[in-house]
Structure 1
Amino acid sequence: AYIRCHDDIGWAVTEEDAAAVGLHGFWHRAFLSDFYSGRFPGSFARGDTFQFNPKTQDRRISGSCASLAGLEVALESGEETAVSRAVDRILLIHSMIMAFGGIPLLYMGDELGLLNDHSYQFEPDLAADNRWMHRPKMDWAAAAGRGDGQGVNGRLFQGICRLIEARKQMDAFHAQASKRPVWTNNDHVFGLLRHSPRGQVLVLGNFSDQPQTITRQRLAELGFGGALLDRLNKRYFDGWFELRLEPYQAVWLEKAGE
């Protein structure tokens, strides 16, 4: 599993899949392109459209993980709250690829939050292809700051290192462990159940900028009532009460004592 690569992003949302959740495929794909190119009012993303198809009106998206997740706009604004939210988004989506299955892949620079590289526009051989904005040269100055837990580069690098260390301790994330997306009864919270003979883990991710809850009834239905341990944050929860997730928070839940 990976978040970004050298190529552009295409929205593989079929008409049937969109209709199944009450959306219109064409308009939802258009919204995604508008949002991640920064054209949609209130968007936090900074990307650009690629390969516009005049027949289907489909557009693909170029941009680095950090810029698409809002870090470029946040840093320009100088608002620490916006920067923290962008950092949280980036760590959230990395927590998902760490948990989903297969080998998690990190695209160079994403571990440091490298932004779009706009210098390609000034190189004649590259200027016509905006995918070069997410094909940067390595920023070794940013890499040198990865030990600073207060700076953005360090917060991201150390946060991803913590995800990797937590994953290494999880038997339920073994390649042969089964994975099953589960409905959390909350439109904003993604759920994934990983199961192996050595244990199971409930992965939850709040993709909203507002706190969200999972009811105790739903936790029990998924087999996670009682005492729970979040292996990501090393915190205990009581599954007989509703579970509150902060904006862009992820948890990897095991039954305590297992």
Structure 2
Amino acid sequence: LLHGVTLSIGGIPLLYLGEEWGMLNDYDFMKDPAKAGDTRWIHRPKMQWDFLEELDDHIQSGSGSIRARIFQSMQRLIALRKDMPALAGQEMQLISSGNEHVLGYRRSSSGHSLVVLANFSDNEQPIDGNRLRTATLGRFFQDHISGETIPTSEPLVMSPYQLLWLSRV
């Protein structure tokens, strides 16, 4: 979810070392008195080469480990981002999803528009189809992440932690 927001909200996405395969934060900096008061070090772990070798093994074997799924999902989102003209510009407008758990914004550039909806809840969340229609999407929209085409004639129910990159069909 957060990778998709980072890649779509605008600007150059900032990814810390290891995020692309789910490496956890490194709290070892707290043991060094010179670094203990500076929490920026939590995001500056030492490269864990064994993680990278393990990731490669999982991808090659198709085991579907969490790290491999995170990495492959990130690769897919980056590829989608490259092919979306709406994400090329800097224009970003917050939109009301009508649901306090769902962040909504529109990205536009060169006549192209993309609406991003991000459900930050661990529960399903409904979005009124009329809100999507008024967000310039028309009567049908496509989610570029799932490839699904969805009508705005009925409420959209977002799954827990679901991310949608929507454009007009």
TM-score (norm 2): 0.87
Deviation of the 1:166 alpha carbon? 0.7
For 1:52, the equivalent position in structure 2 comes to none
From 173, 193, 196, give the equivalent of 2:106.
Answer: 193
Q: Please, which runs of 5 or more residues in structure 1 have no aligned partner?
A: 1-91
Deviation of the 1:122 alpha carbon? 4.3
Structure 1 stretch displaced more, 239-248 or 130-139: 130-139
For 1:169, the equivalent position in structure 2 comes to 83
Q: Is the 8 A contact 2:89 2:109 kept in 1?
A: no
Give the alignment of 1:80-95 within 5 angstroms.
Answer: 92-95=1-4
Q: Is the 8 A contact 1:143 1:153 kept in 2?
A: no
Aligned equivalents of 1:110, 1:230: Cα separation in 2:
24
For 2:154, the equivalent position in structure 1 comes to 241
CA deviations over 1:118-174 (Å, ceiling 9, x no partner): 333444554x33623332101111122332562121111111111101101101001
Q: Please, which runs of 5 or more residues in structure 2 have no aligned partner?
A: none
- Indicate how the Cα distance of structure 1 residues 228 and 139 shifts in structure 2: closer, same or farther if over 3 A, else same: same
- Indicate how the Cα distance of structure 1 residues 149 and 187 shifts in structure 2: closer, same or farther if over 3 A, else same: farther
SS at match of 1:145: helix
For 2:37, the equivalent position in structure 1 comes to 129
For 1:110, the equivalent position in structure 2 comes to 19
For 1:213, the equivalent position in structure 2 comes to 126
Structure with greater strand share of residues: 2
From 183, 203, 222, give the equivalent of 2:135.
Answer: 222
SS at match of 2:21: coil
Aligned equivalents of 1:137, 1:94: Cα separation in 2:
21
Aligned equivalents of 1:149, 1:181: Cα separation in 2:
39
Give structure 1 regions of 4+ aligned residues with deviation exceeding 4 angstroms: 121-126
TM-score (norm 1): 0.59
Aligned equivalents of 1:125, 1:216: Cα separation in 2:
54
SS at match of 1:220: helix
Q: Is the 8 A contact 2:119 2:162 kept in 1?
A: yes
Q: Is the 8 A contact 2:16 2:44 kept in 1?
A: no
